């Protein structure tokens, strides 16, 4: 997520961030291509076709000296292609989420508009070791974009500005499906997101303090995901969690003699989702 700060006066002071390397960049382009899906009835296998639904979540973003917290709501959809002959699958995923958040840092500000848009494509294979269980490892490529608008004045009179954040990352994960009777399947999942690159745009000119807009590059971080879903013939619902830890960005000039950077930050998002299978 983007670093969001209020500014009292002057320019941002910065320290030099350490040098980091990219994580698992070779994974980014590794996506399986599969044939169009055919009718499939095994509840332990990846289901072909479209799923769409809604989600709600509790959200917290934190960096040194500030945080954003609040509830979010949004929509999510997936579309899967599956080859029954090879058990290979390709899954395309998208979600949009909105929150009206509380800023705490240089004072307090309520009802901060905050959007997350995300798109992913992953590919993998279903394995059936027996005993009413399946294992579905996958890897792929993801894109995450965030926008928040802190324009205005906090409770202490500090001035805010808009932030735009984009992440490119490589998800590597595993979904398991466990048969729970004739109609139900329990599907726990875990994932590691290798951070490939990020860009943060800070509209410092919104503050009217004489600073120019700044674009910072990020090259080090990691994300994790976990979920516990219940599946039936037409419904999928359950709990999920997303986590990001992103290191300091590079340094860029914001005004003569001053440099700005995106500080190390943490994002935690946990919620409930329900989708219908068409």
203 inside domain: yes
Lowest mean pLDDT among 39-48, 91-100, 168-177, 212-221: 39-48
69 within some domain: yes
Within a domain: 33: no
Of the candidates 272, 249, 23, 28, which has an alpha carbon nearest to the alpha carbon of residue 140? Answer: 28
At 136-159, the pLDDT tens digits run 999 999 999 999 999 988 888 888
How many independent structural domains does the chain possess? Answer: 1
**Does residue 238 lie within any of the structural domains?**
yes
Taking only the tens place, the pLDDT of each residue in 161-217 is 999 999 999 999 999 999 998 889 999 999 999 999 999 999 999 988 888 899 999
Residue 85 lies in a domain: yes
pTM of the model: 0.83
As beta bridge partners, residue 134 has 177
Residue 89's domain comprises 54-277
Q: How many CA atoms lie within 13 A of 187 on its CB side?
A: 21
Q: Would 186 be classed as within a structural domain?
A: yes
Burial of 21 (0-12, 13-18, 19+ CB in 10 A): exposed
User: If we measure between CA atoms, which residue out of 53, 46, 47, 48 comes closest to residue 77?
Assistant: 53
| Residues 156-195 as b or e (16 or more Cβ within 10 Å = b) | eebbbbbbebbbebbbbbebbbeeeeeeebebebebbbbb
| Tally of CB atoms within 10 A around 242 | 21
**Is 197 inside any structural domain?**
yes
Residue 58 maps to a domain = yes
Q: How far is CA 72 from CA 166, 222, 240, in A?
A: 19, 22, 13
Q: Quick one: pLDDT band at residue 44, thresholds 50, 70, 90? A: very high
Residue 269 has a pLDDT of 98
The CATH code of the domain that includes 83 is: 2.40.128.100
CB of 141 closer than 8 Å to CB of 187: no
Q: What pLDDT is stored for residue 40 in this prediction?
A: 53
Mean pLDDT of the chain: 87
Q: Which residue has the tokens 């969001």?
A: 4
pLDDT of residue 152: 87
Q: Read off the pLDDT band of 5 (50, 70, 90).
A: low
**pLDDT at site 239:** 98
């Amino acid at each position: 997520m983007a670093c969001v700060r209020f500014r009292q006066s002057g320019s941002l002071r910065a320290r030099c961030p350490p040098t980091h390397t990219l994580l698992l960049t070779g994974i980014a382009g590794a996506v399986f291509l599969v044939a169009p899906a055919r009718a499939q009835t095994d509840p332990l296998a990846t289901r072909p076709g479209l799923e769409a639904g809604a989600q709600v979540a509790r959200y917290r973003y934190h960096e040194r000296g500030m945080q954003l917290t609040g509830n979010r709501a949004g929509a999510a959809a997936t579309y899967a292609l599956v080859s029954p002959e090879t058990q290979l699958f390709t899954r395309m995923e998208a979600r949009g989420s909105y929150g009206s958040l509380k800023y705490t840092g240089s004072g307090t500000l309520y009802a901060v508009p905050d959007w997350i848009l995300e798109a992913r494509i992953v590919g993998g294979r279903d394995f059936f070791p027996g005993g009413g269980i399946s294992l579905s490892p996958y890897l792929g490529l993801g894109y995450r974009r965030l926008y928040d608008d802190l324009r205005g004045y906090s409770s202490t009179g500090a001035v805010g500005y808009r932030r735009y954040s984009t992440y490119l990352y490589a998800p590597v994960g595993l979904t398991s499906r466990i048969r729970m009777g004739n109609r139900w399947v329990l599907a726990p999942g875990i994932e590691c997101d290798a951070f490939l690159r990020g860009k943060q745009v800070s509209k410092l000119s919104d503050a009217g303090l004489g600073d120019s807009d700044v674009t910072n590059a990020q090259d080090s971080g990691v994300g994790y995901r976990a979920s516990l879903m219940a599946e039936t013939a037409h419904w999928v619902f359950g709990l999920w969690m997303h986590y990001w830890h992103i290191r300091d960005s590079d340094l860029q000039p914001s005004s003569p003699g001053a440099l700005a950077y995106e500080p190390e930050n943490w994002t935690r998002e946990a919620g409930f989702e329900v989708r219908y299978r068409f």
